[in-house]
Amino acid sequence: MVGVLALQGDYEAHARALRSAGAEVKEVRTAPELETVVALVIPGGESTTMLNLLHRERLVEPLKRFSTVRPIFGTCAGAILLASDVTNPVQECLGVVDIGVERNAYGRQLDSRVVRLDAGELGEVEAVFIRAPIIRRTGEGVKVIANYNGDPVLVEQGMHMVATFHPELSMGTRVHGRFLEKVKG
């Protein structure tokens, strides 16, 4: 059972993509629900709002503990939350993946775009960027799977994955399938 954090953002699209890739999916809103899943997707949305909701639902510490034993995949705002440091502006994050992220670095909503990326062994993937962050720094042990304009946009570190784009809005399930491979171990 793969969980999708369902506090804010397009968690329903992630649930559809995960099901299409072969997973059973459960929406997660509380710490007890988090304990019932083997992996978690943190969707895009608005990272400040998501962080406030995580605090309100007392999920920050349970998520940090979860990340030490279970895989997490963060997309867009989820990438911001999983990062080790965040700028533009500085923001609290969970420190799960050793990356530095700049919020809204590709511009405003009007600057959103859809591009095709070479994702190495995953092949070509469609990437939907909506007010996306840029990964400005990758730490030791972070593997870059795909770049856009010279910046990493899909990375892995250990069992965790981060995408600065929205794979749940694209055609195909290659990115979600890659995460499910991590879940299976």
Q: How far apart are CA 26 and CA 102, in angstroms?
A: 30
Q: How far apart are CA 157 and CA 125, in angstroms?
A: 20
* Residue 30 dihedral angles phi and psi, to the nearest 5°: -135, 165
Decide if 166 is catalytic: yes
Answer whether the bond into residue 89 is a cis peptide, omega within 30°. Answer: yes
Q: How far apart are CA 30 and CA 32, in angstroms?
A: 6
Task: Name the catalytic one among 14, 160, 166, 176.
Answer: 166
Decide if 168 is catalytic: yes
Task: Name the catalytic one among 93, 160, 168, 176.
Answer: 168
* Residue 103 dihedral angles phi and psi, to the nearest 5°: -70, 150
Sign of the Cα pseudo-torsion (33, 35, 38, 39, in order): positive
Q: What is the C-alpha radius of gyration for the chain, rounded to an integer number of angstroms?
A: 15
Task: Name the catalytic one among 14, 76, 156, 176.
Answer: 76
Decide if 76 is catalytic: yes
Which residues are catalytically annotated? 76, 166, 168
